[in-house]
Amino acid sequence: MCSRQRPTVLIAIALCGLVWLSSPAAFAAGQIRLSYKLYGRGFHVMNVAVALSLNQYGYGIAVHDQTVGLMSVMVHTNLTSTATGRFKPDGVQPTHFESVGFSRGAQRTTVLDYVDGNPVVRQLTPPEPNRDPVAAASARGAIDTLSAIVGLVHRVQQTGRCDGSALLFDGLRLSRARAHTVGEQVVPAHDGALYPGTALRCNFESLEVGGFEHDEDQAEMHRPQHGSAWVAHVLPGAPALPVRISFHHPKLGMVTMVLTSAAAVKGAQATAALN
């Protein structure tokens, strides 16, 4: 769901999870593991397994998305996406991104590297000829969808606010996204939610600007997509993390993702695969 479907702001900036550091030593030192459930039209439709590790120099990121219940029969998704990168004074600089798994009726692979700070597509299968290509010049300075959420978490950690913008490229689509701080709010109640308290609310907007699919609703594709995330401290010593995310899904309308578990994982356990 993170890399090969049309990204709303929250798919692009929040739904795509958090993961591994580029430094093996930092990776071995520990991670934060998070579990989310995504609800649409009143039904539990997807599980999102997340792990997070950060230090002052860099990050890594990955997520496992899998549809459940009737949704898994109608629109089956089973994707694992990962990225690595480093922090810079004004944000993040990814070094590698990849997404592998089943989505939109096919087994798909996306691999991006970053040369002089710009994304280079190394692999994109299967090809999608029924889509406008994104010129390399248009994607200059763009970051991947996973690095965007790391940048958001890092920004909140450093400043206590979520204001910022980014150009996003997932190998197919190019989008402009921005976030702004709303303020502290009580998180709306939801069955199974781990965190019921007060959190910083961040609102998001994204607009697709390239890589349009020819047979899709053109008006819909050119319409800005909106969403909100609530971030809060749920583990001692950890940065504030998304505890609830709401956004518009093209098939389900407004959907909500809620944090259902969070745990710190140390040592050898931190190298285990996401479940």
Tell which phi-psi region holds residue 242, choosing left (phi > 0), alpha (psi between -120 and 50) or beta: beta
Q: Which amino acid is at 105?
A: G
Tell whether 40 is covered by a domain. Answer: yes
> What is the chain's length?
275
Tell whether 274 is covered by a domain. Answer: no
Q: Is 214 exposed, middle or buried (0-12, 13-18, 19+ CB in 10 A)?
A: exposed
CA atoms within 13 A on the CB side of 263: 8
Domain of 20 in residue numbering reads as 9-269
Tell me the pLDDT tens digit for each residue of 138-161. Answer: 999 999 988 998 888 889 988 999
Rounded to whole angstroms, the Cα distance separating 17 from 145 reads 9
Q: In the beta sheet, which residues pair with residue 176?
A: 167, 207
Q: Count of domains in the chain?
A: 1
pTM > 0.85: yes or no = no
Tell whether 166 is covered by a domain. Answer: yes
Q: Sorting pLDDT into bands at 50, 70 and 90, what band is 45?
A: very high
Whether the CA torsion 233, 155, 25, 23 is positive or negative: it is positive
pLDDT of amino acid 219: 74
Rounded to whole angstroms, the Cα distance separating 121 from 32 reads 30
Tell whether 3 is covered by a domain. Answer: no
Rounded to whole angstroms, the Cα distance separating 225 from 6 reads 10
Span 231-237, mean pLDDT? 91
Tell whether 222 is covered by a domain. Answer: yes
Q: Are 103 and 171 in contact (CB under 8 A)?
A: no
